[in-house]
């Protein structure tokens, strides 16, 4: 995926926000930016992660989905009206993709109300688990 020329050094289309991530995730993201020639206008250190002002909305959405699959986390995508294209009349949005890594992965055994449960799947809103003692399957909210 090739990126078109950046309009100026502070130009960005959206934010990629990483929260509570391992160093491995940050290294993976930086590598993806470099491999795909994605320009980072600004990197902002936050209390529990980083915000990147990035030159491609399409890329950060694709990368967010990749991070969820690869690193067991949740993603939230929002957009804010930024401008309107003078030639086409289409709205231009600034996207924000938030990725928050969870402290466990699919297959991990965690505690819920003092019981051991195995994580079967993770979605953006719920975690499917199975009680190891009773075999009962149920959902936890994220």
Distance, in Å, from the CA atom of 109 to the CA atom of 37, rounded to the nearest integer, reads 39
Rg (CA), the chain: 18
Q: pLDDT digits over 15-49, tens only?
A: 999 999 999 999 999 999 999 998 898 999 999 99
| Cα atoms found within 13 Å of the Cα of residue 27, Cβ hemisphere only | 3
What distance in Å separates the CA atoms of residue 60 and residue 66, rounded to the nearest whole number? Answer: 10
The Cα–Cα gap between 54 and 37 comes to: 11
- 129: tokens are 């688990």
Can you tell me the distance from the alpha carbon of 31 to that of 9, in angstroms, rounded to the nearest whole number? 20
Quick: pLDDT tens for 44-101: 999 999 999 998 999 999 999 999 888 888 889 999 888 888 888 888 888 999 999 9
Where in the chain are the domains?
14-101, 109-141
Q: Which fold has domain 14-101?
A: Alpha-Beta Plaits (3.30.70)
What is the CB-side half-sphere exposure of residue 37 using CA atoms within 13 A? 6
């Amino acid at each position: 995926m090739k990126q078109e020329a950046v309009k100026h050094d502070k130009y960005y289309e959206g934010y990629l926000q990483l929260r509570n991530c391992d160093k491995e995730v940050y290294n993976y993201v930086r590598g993806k930016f470099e491999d795909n020639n994605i320009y980072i206008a600004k990197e902002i250190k936050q209390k529990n992660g980083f915000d990147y002002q990035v030159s491609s909305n399409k890329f950060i959405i694709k990368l967010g989905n990749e991070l969820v699959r690869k690193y067991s986390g949740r993603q939230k995508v929002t957009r804010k009206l930024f401008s309107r294209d003078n030639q086409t009349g289409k709205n231009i949005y600034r996207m924000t993709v938030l990725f928050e890594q969870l402290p466990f992965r699919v297959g991990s055994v965690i505690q819920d109300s003092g019981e051991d449960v195995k994580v079967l799947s993770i979605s953006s809103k719920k975690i499917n688990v199975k009680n190891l003692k009773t075999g009962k399957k149920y959902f936890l909210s994220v």
